[in-house]
Chains A and B, each alone.
Chain A
């Protein structure tokens, strides 16, 4: 049986209320949306979801990483390979990037299921993340939120089988972003609603039912992409769906999280269903993918440690819309009167991949002292080249000391500078993120998160930061 072995979501800490956007533009707005921090992107959010999804599992058994996003950090350069390195995976892992439409997540899921079913791969990690930009003072800006999800697809210990897959392709220019654009464009709203999503999704669902011989009544949950609440209701009504089975898209909590939306909704549904329940999943984007799943025994006992409730309850409001503009670099600020950050060397970054990307240090075989970054001469006993690799990203840690540096170069000043001490030994000095400066105290527990350190010279430098334990 091929299906989902493990699942998780990731929603960023920050939320922007739609009324705050409305405050800036003299309009209104209901609810709030999840906002990637200034140092997050689709890649880092996918990593965060993947870490949750793989918790307690043997990551070395993963032989495929499929990353799906319309907002990958690069047009040319693979994100999945970066993610595999961050997750310390075997170099022989099959990495693939999917993108180009909101359907990219289900494209990846289908490809993963096909690969596992065929025996080509055994365990494929499907990561879907988006942080799309709507132009200021537009409907998309109000709607779009940021988030990610991870599914591990395999054939052992399956908690939700992937039963059928149906795909419909449909050429239409309704929601799009060309290679020259930064903001997503949408054609006239009624055309998009009625002749795009409102036409294609029902058509695909109906065809899928015909194929499988099932009816809507056979499903405990219908997980359907929808750009907003109103369209979800309109389509549900037109299809005469039982409102009980239509999974909430969390539009007023997280916003339209793009390609990740149906996956976040699917994870929410999986937290709720019981053995034997069927789930119907429909994505949209130049066509639709319809996938049917059946919950298997054990699903209830294998909920992620950080479920939807956790993400709803752990949040920080971004105080002003202007701060959001700064984080997204939508407005250009006067540069500070300090030396600009220098472009890093890709050569030096490459040499440093192990320490930098998966936060590995070393542990001295002679004296047992963990050290970050990797050393050749032991800081403690002076032994040379006598170390084992040592992971820091999963170790409990506390804040040894800190400052709030107003001269540090950051989109979210002041830079909170942290010395972090790990349980079991080792210290790292790094930035803190997802924090309220007034809440930072010496001795507080922190966790390490993978983030964008800087973007200079056309490429991203990722590293790790500490944040107050999110709970």
Chain B
């Protein structure tokens, strides 16, 4: 299998301000993100050969993208892959240019969540509908991820207070990073004391263990790798594009241990193989991962082999994942602080990786980046879609 490595490059990216964007419609945020990407790539709307729109609940059809941007009758498709929707939009656009079907493709992710009046995620009816029977669940996403925290603490002998301090450190780190990101939803530092004192959302997860519910959009423009340098001197090359979708095993089989996410492990292994990475802890320069909850980030560190099984807490305590650590994670604040407009998140992660690889991340800039990774999870620990995308600033 040849794989995607070095066949596609990102030549432009854009990202709207994330947050409670009361004064912006989905169309407004799409336009903000896409026109930033056009400018970044030095292209115009008429140069787009095909487009993919990732949205989870904002609209049923991809036609909204053409409506907002007034595209020139090019193919537009809506893609959906739960919270990994944005990454899948990028994947589709990359495959389009890699196949030669078009030279320039656009991937956009958007979500308008704050029109709903709900403080949490809106309208999971869409999820319920497919199996809308006796087995319909009455509990929330935090409730599912909290089950992983309970089990993780139990398995590694952490009493809940100690466990909460460890995952609380992740929230503190991501708040620090978010405070340095001008487009982040939450741009404030926090303290472990504040994190631990926050109200409970789904025991053992408190408010600060949960990511923001935000509006936002992000966009990427991709082209074939051999065309990329015509557009800019510092394109970012795609090294791996993987998605693993679980068969619901975690809900049905006692084999599932609730202290890892199989989909992350599978997508990670495949992505490392596709990119030719042997030692991710050493070779990956920066990772933007799906910290929908602090416990998720902790477990991802192990699933992606950044930390040994059961040892991620040691790396959290030592600051290994801080901006100045050995492997900075969620340098823009992650879902926790940059926010989580579902369909946009995967592309927002790549926006940060792209800027870091181009040395344009301002106060958040890490030293000597070479390879960046995005990890985007849609679903729950027991069954989900996970994308792992790896990008680099050099070919080869």
Contact = CB atoms under 8 A, between A and B. Distances in A.
B203 A437 contact: yes
Contacts of A351: 133
B252 A454 contact: no
A338 B138 CA distance: 12
Contacts, number: 151
Chain B CB within 10 Å, residue with most, of A372, A380, A407, A415: A407
A426 B256 CA distance: 11
B143 A442 contact: no
Interface stretch (B37-45, B148-156, B227-235): B148-156
A348 B128 CA distance: 12
Contact of A352 (B117, B128, B134, B149): B134
A372 B251 CA distance: 9
Contacts of A406: 200-203
Chain A CB within 10 Å, residue with most, of B123, B138, B151, B253: B138
B134 A355 contact: yes
A453 B151 CA distance: 25
Given A371-B252, A401-B154, A442-B154, A356 B133 contact: yes
Nearest to B150: A401
Interface string A426-468: 1111010000010000100000000001100000011100000
B135 interface: yes
Interface residues of A, number: 50
Contacts of A380: 253
Contact of A415 (B143, B200, B254, B258): B143
Contact of B144 (A345, A349, A371, A417): A417
Contacts of A414: 200, 202-203
A339 B205 CA distance: 21
Contacts of B201: 405-407
B146 interface: yes
A430 to B, nearest CB: 8
A444 B144 CA distance: 19
A462 B133 CA distance: 10
A344 interface: yes
Contacts of A421: 254
Contacts of A431: 138-139
Interface string B195-214: 00000111111000000000
- Chain A contact residues, majority secondary structure: mixed
A415 B143 CA distance: 8
A404 B147 CA distance: 9
B203 A403 contact: yes
A426 B123 contact: no
Contact of A403 (B119, B136, B204): B204
A312 to B, nearest CB: 31
B249 interface: yes
B136 A427 contact: no
Interface in A383-439: 400-410, 414-415, 417, 419, 421-422, 425-429, 431, 437
Contacts of A407: 120, 139-140, 142-143, 201-202
B147 to A, nearest CB: 5
Contact of B135 (A337, A339, A369, A463): A463
B247 interface: yes
A334 to B, nearest CB: 13
B122 interface: yes
A85 to B, nearest CB: 12
A345 B256 CA distance: 30
B150 A402 contact: yes
B133 A442 contact: no
A281 to B, nearest CB: 38
B138 A348 contact: no
Nearest to A342: B125
- Chain B contact residues, majority secondary structure: loop
Contact of B124 (A339, A419, A453, A462): A339
A339 B118 contact: yes
A453 B203 contact: no
A333 interface: no
B278 interface: no
Contacts of B137: 429
A239 interface: no
Interface in B77-127: 116-125
A6 B252 CA distance: 36
B223 to A, nearest CB: 40
B129 interface: yes
A357 B134 CA distance: 8
Contacts of A404: 146, 200, 202-203
A99 interface: no
B61 interface: no
Contact of A339 (B123, B134, B136, B258): B123
B34 interface: no
Interface string A79-111: 000000000000000000000000000000000
Interface string B230-242: 0000000000000
Contacts of A349: 133-134
B148 A401 contact: yes
A427 B253 contact: yes
Nearest to B382: A429
Given A407-B140, A407-B202, A417-B139, 9 more contacts: A338-B119, A339-B125, A348-B133, A355-B135, A369-B253, A371-B252, A403-B150, A406-B203, A421-B254
Interface of B: 116-125, 128-129, 131-140, 142-144, 146-151, 154, 200-205, 247-249, 251-254, 256, 258, 382
25 contacts: A337-B117, A337-B119, A338-B118, A338-B120, A338-B140, A339-B121, A342-B128, A342-B129, A349-B133, A352-B135, A371-B253, A400-B151, A400-B254, A400-B258, A401-B154, A401-B258, A402-B147, A409-B138, A417-B144, A419-B147, A421-B254, A428-B251, A437-B203, A442-B150, A454-B138
- Which are the 4 A-B pairs with shortest beta-carbon distances? A356-B134, A405-B143, A403-B146, A407-B140
